[in-house]
């Protein structure tokens, strides 16, 4: 079995298919691990979700901020942005089936035999693996409740949950987890999440902000953290225990696949 991890697809379905063809991906024996942001921007969000859903257990997915936003759009909590190219998906006959499938996907996954943890944006450096598992599971449970739209999705759009408060409960606790695992790039020096800066680290004043992965972390150093979300990095991180896979396909760059067993990266240029 081969394990392939792919960066933010963002609806770039044709590029995904070409990339998988390059490695002769076979869902009967291989697994495709997706770092989230499956939809938006590209032209093939509907085809992407249908394809990943039909892969069944061969697809291992975590949710990204765009995937959560799709739930809000479908639930009429937010209005679509034409730039997201989601009209076809939102109008599809099987949209409810696809949304219900997305709601079953977690915010983190582990591949224990290779000591890999995957989230969309990263892992707060002050969380150990046990804390990550607990907090992500709480969000998953909330997403699977019948009232998930009113109880969670309608209330997740806030920058207020920027601090990790161990005593926090309810929405405050869930909001921090969503913000950290699906939106995080930089932290203030005191550990607070920053939601504004999307630049590459070379352009940022490190006396004010630092990438989350440059803080001392509580997860063991022999665990590799796989994430996407941050196209400005273009996959370039210096730490050997990190794999940054968002290389901006939806912005005209590449879709990147990491073959774990060979420690090899394969790319596909944006087609249009």
The model's pLDDT over 25-57, given as tens digits with 9 standing for 90+, comes to 999 999 999 999 999 999 999 999 999 999 999
Using CA atoms, how far apart are residues 152 and 149, in angstroms rounded to an integer?
6
Q: How confident is the model at residue 272 (pLDDT cuts 50, 70, 90)?
A: confident
Which pairs from 91-97 meet CB under 8 Å and 24+ separation? 92/46, 94/50, 97/53
183 has pLDDT over 90: yes
User: How would you classify the pairing of strands 186-188 and 209-211?
Assistant: antiparallel
**In the prediction, which pLDDT does 126 show?**
96
269 has pLDDT over 90: yes
The model's pLDDT over 66-125, given as tens digits with 9 standing for 90+, comes to 999 999 999 999 998 888 899 999 999 999 999 999 999 999 999 999 999 999 999 999
Place of tokens 């790319």: 267
CA-wise closest residue to 100 among 169, 139, 49: 49
| Mean pLDDT value of segment 160-181 | 94
**In the prediction, which pLDDT does 203 show?**
92
CA-wise closest residue to 91 among 51, 48, 52, 45: 45
User: How would you classify the pairing of strands 108-111 and 209-211?
Assistant: unpaired
Cβ neighbors of 190 (< 8 A, separation 6 or more) are: none
Torsion region of 7: left, alpha or beta (phi above 0 gives left; psi -120 to 50 gives alpha): beta
What rounded mean pLDDT belongs to the chain?
A: 96
The model's pLDDT over 207-257, given as tens digits with 9 standing for 90+, comes to 999 999 999 999 999 999 999 999 999 999 988 899 999 999 999 999 999
Using CA atoms, how far apart are residues 183 and 123, in angstroms rounded to an integer?
11
**In the prediction, which pLDDT does 83 show?**
84
What percent of the chain is modeled with pLDDT above 70?
Answer: 100
3-state secondary structure of 33: strand
**In the prediction, which pLDDT does 81 show?**
86
Residue 101 has φ and ψ, to the nearest 5°, of -65, -45
Using CA atoms, how far apart are residues 143 and 139, in angstroms rounded to an integer?
6
**In the prediction, which pLDDT does 161 show?**
86
Residue 99 has φ and ψ, to the nearest 5°, of -65, -45
Torsion region of 227: left, alpha or beta (phi above 0 gives left; psi -120 to 50 gives alpha): beta
**In the prediction, which pLDDT does 84 show?**
86
**In the prediction, which pLDDT does 65 show?**
97
**In the prediction, which pLDDT does 181 show?**
98
List the domains of the chain with CATH numbers.
3-269 (3.60.21.10)
**In the prediction, which pLDDT does 193 show?**
97
**In the prediction, which pLDDT does 113 show?**
96
**In the prediction, which pLDDT does 82 show?**
83
- The DSSP code for 113 is G
For the whole prediction, is pTM greater than 0.85? yes
8 has pLDDT over 90: yes
45-49-55-59 Cα dihedral, nearest 10 degrees: 90
| Mean pLDDT value of segment 191-208 | 93
Contact in structure between 180 and 166 (CB atoms under 8 Å): no
Total length of the chain: 272
CA-wise closest residue to 141 among 172, 107, 110, 167: 107
């Amino acid at each position: 079995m081969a394990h392939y991890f792919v960066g933010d697809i963002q609806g770039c379905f044709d590029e995904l298919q070409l990339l998988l063809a390059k490695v002769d991906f076979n869902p009967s024996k291989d697994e495709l691990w997706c770092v989230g942001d499956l939809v938006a921007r590209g032209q093939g969000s509907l085809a992407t979700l249908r394809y990943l859903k039909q892969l069944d257990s061969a697809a291992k997915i975590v949710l990204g901020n765009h995937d959560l936003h799709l739930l809000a759009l479908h639930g009429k909590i937010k209005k679509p942005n034409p730039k997201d190219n989601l009209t076809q998906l939102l109008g599809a006959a099987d949209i409810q089936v696809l949304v219900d499938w997305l709601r079953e996907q977690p915010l983190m996954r582990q591949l224990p035999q290779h000591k890999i943890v995957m989230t969309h944006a990263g892992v707060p450096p002050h969380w150990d693996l046990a804390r990550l598992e607990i907090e992500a599971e709480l969000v998953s449970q909330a997403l699977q409740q019948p009232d998930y739209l009113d109880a969670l999705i309608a209330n997740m759009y806030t920058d207020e949950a920027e601090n990790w408060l161990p005593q926090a409960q309810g929405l405050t606790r869930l909001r921090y987890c969503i913000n950290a695992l699906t939106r995080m790039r930089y932290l203030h020096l005191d550990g607070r999440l920053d939601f504004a800066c999307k630049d590459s680290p070379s352009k940022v004043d490190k006396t004010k902000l630092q990438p989350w992965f440059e803080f001392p972390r509580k997860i063991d150093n022999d665990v590799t953290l796989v994430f996407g979300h941050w196209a400005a990095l273009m996959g370039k991180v210096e730490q050997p225990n990190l794999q940054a896979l968002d290389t901006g396909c939806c912005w005209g760059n590449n879709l990147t696949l990491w073959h774990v067993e060979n420690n090899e990266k394969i790319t596909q240029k944006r087609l249009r």
